[in-house]
Chain A
Amino acid sequence: MASNVSVTSGNSQMMGAVSTAPAGAKLWWLRTRKALRSPTPWLMTFGVVLWIGAYYVLSEGLQVWRFAKIPGPVAVLTDLLSKNPAWGLSIYTPDYYLHIGISCFRVFAGFAIATIVGVPLGLFMGWSIAFKDYTFPVLETLRPIPILAWVPLAILMFTGVETSVIFLATLASFFVTTLNTLLGVESIDKSYFRAAACLGSQPRHVFWHVVVPGAMPFIFTGLQISIAVAWFSLVAAEMVSGQYGLGYVIMNSYTTMTYVTMVIGMLTLGFVGWVSSALVRFAGNRMMQWHVRALALEGR
């Protein structure tokens, strides 16, 4: 890991110079070979196989007790990959993508609103003690209220289905993002503020050059949690009100007893949620080269 990083950085600096640092396809091959020699990909594969195996044995294989009632992996995969699904939803039906698309849109909207409001709010709360004194008690009182408890209020407050669903998806993310950003600012070593002050900074310089970048690692940790939280609060919202979306698929399949489709909805949700977290992590690493390189040197 560490050597990979130094190889790339050295390469960008020595453009045109004769260097032994590999690039392009060669570098990709080097990394792939290294990755394959480490236990990580094998352990990951083994973990997935083990999980699916246990699922199969319990449900379809030995039909242990109540597990017999659960649709097994074979039934689920057959339906998911079938051109003519018995229960109505597979990768060949346009509805499948409609549900995914609508859920993704809602999560993205909720996540974006939560980030746009939560990050600046957290930054200001960490930066100004007075501002924190005003806002913190309110935030801490609203934060423990579960999303499901907000559902009736959301329906009362907003006219359309879409707005109330997005509101609910935003809410949980917003608290996570704000709190993590606040903690991020509070985690910044005091000597950075002092250094900035004795180098002649105005308050706005301190904000942009110390508070914002210093809180960045915590902010991105928060955003990764926030997008996951957006997914599960979205599902709660879609279960209550909605005509489309993965949460709706799960709830609707349950009421109509199409359990195979229900499991398809759950697995799809898990997969899409994982991809979205990975995208946030990727964006964070791109924005915090200093952090990534320092961690890489520590061998992480």
Chain B
Amino acid sequence: MMQQVAMTMTMQDMATQMQMPRTTKGAISIRNVTKIYDPEGVNVMAVDNCSLEIAPGEICMIVGPSGCGKTTLLNAIAGFHSITHGAIYLDGEMLCGPAKPKADESSDRVVVFQNGALFPWKTLVDNVAYGPMVQGRMTKAEARDKARQMLAEAGLADMTDKYPGEVSSGMARRAEVVRALINDPKVLLLDEPYRAMDALTKSIMHEALLEMYDRTKVTIFFITHDLEEAIFLGDRVVVMATRPARTKKIVNVNIPRPRTYKLLSSNEFRLLAEETKDAVHEEAIKAFEAGERELA
């Protein structure tokens, strides 16, 4: 019975993919965005005149030193806070701009958070089923069936009835990506999701993410510190200048997919890493010195 449901689901998915390629949606256009915080009468510029075009279905990696304003940009796209100047468009529609500085929060732009934000009081299956249920797209039973199926596809079939506190951080993070993808979002916003993980777990997470990406071809806006991660996952790597954030350098990663971990030791990869590293290192030094000045 369950298998039958799963079968028809995948057939439907295949059909929709063939008729209408998923890659036609999820274009983000960031145009001259500036964000100035003004907490106590002192202006702090977090993002300065930043522009970036992200193609539908692209994996766009944002790299830059800590506190450079990357997350500010992500929060503006998600609608968690407003922008001061400029505009952000999603598929030609203005999310936020001069007339409307704060975007509406919506399930077409789902965030996976830095420290993980699965609801600890819900089991994995209920966490994943939450989105479709509250949006009224599915009944609770339907949402849970779909959630079970998607968790199984992500290799979490045995974990569906556990609470987030009972599974490893890697599994929790994977479930969080599934919780985002069940909403069929146009854009997935990831804010250093694998930051606290060891290199081995990270590599497993990367392959799982790419697998999920291959199934959905969702646009991914991915913030990271990890250069290797950025090149391995991304179609493009955007190096940000330190605060205020601006695009400093964009590196195209023309390595065909599917990618495997053998890539990491290839010459191609090494050359890209070198190209990116100089730009990132320069900014890291600037950020570090700026930090020292702030303390002094």
Contacts and interface: CB of A to CB of B under 8 A. Distances in A.
Interface in B43-96: 78-80
Contact of A198 (B111, B115, B123): B111
B165 A293 contact: yes
A161 interface: no
Given A199-B183, A293-B165, A297-B165, A194 B78 contact: yes
Given A209-B119, A290-B120, A198 B106 contact: yes
Interface in B128-172: 130-131, 134-135, 161, 163-166
Contacts of A210: 119
A194 B120 contact: no
Contacts of A209: 119, 122, 130, 134
B215 to A, nearest CB: 20
A237 B16 CA distance: 71
Interface residues of A, number: 26
B193 to A, nearest CB: 12
B174 to A, nearest CB: 16
A199 B131 contact: yes
A293 B106 CA distance: 32
B117 interface: yes
A24 interface: no
B35 interface: no
A202 B166 contact: no
Contacts of A216: 121
A201 B134 contact: yes
Contact of A194 (B106, B117, B131, B134): B117
A194 B80 contact: yes
Interface string A193-207: 011111111100100
Nearest to B161: A13
A214 B121 contact: yes
B213 interface: no
Interface string A178-220: 0000000000010110111111111001000110011010000
Contacts of A34: none
Interface in B216-232: none
A289 B113 CA distance: 24
A97 to B, nearest CB: 40
Interface in A212-264: 213-214, 216
A238 B167 CA distance: 51
Contact of A191 (B115, B130, B163): B115
Nearest to B78: A198
A7 interface: no
A134 B123 CA distance: 36
Contact of A199 (B79, B134, B161): B134
A198 B79 contact: yes
B121 A194 contact: no
A64 interface: no
Interface string A1-33: 000000000000100000000000000000000
A117 interface: no
B110 to A, nearest CB: 5
A96 B109 CA distance: 65
A76 to B, nearest CB: 46
Contacts of A290: 120-123, 163-165
B166 A294 contact: yes
A294 to B, nearest CB: 3
Interface centre among B78, B105, B121, B165, by most chain A C-beta atoms within 10 angstroms, is B121
A1 to B, nearest CB: 14
Contact of A294 (B122, B130, B161, B163): B163
Given A199-B130, A199-B131, A194 B107 contact: no
Given A191-B115, A205-B134, A293-B163, A198 B121 contact: no
A291 interface: yes
A293 B166 contact: yes
B117 A189 contact: yes
B186 interface: no
Contacts of B130: 196, 199, 209
Given A199-B135, A200-B183, A209-B122, 8 more contacts: A192-B119, A195-B117, A200-B131, A200-B135, A214-B121, A289-B163, A290-B122, A293-B165
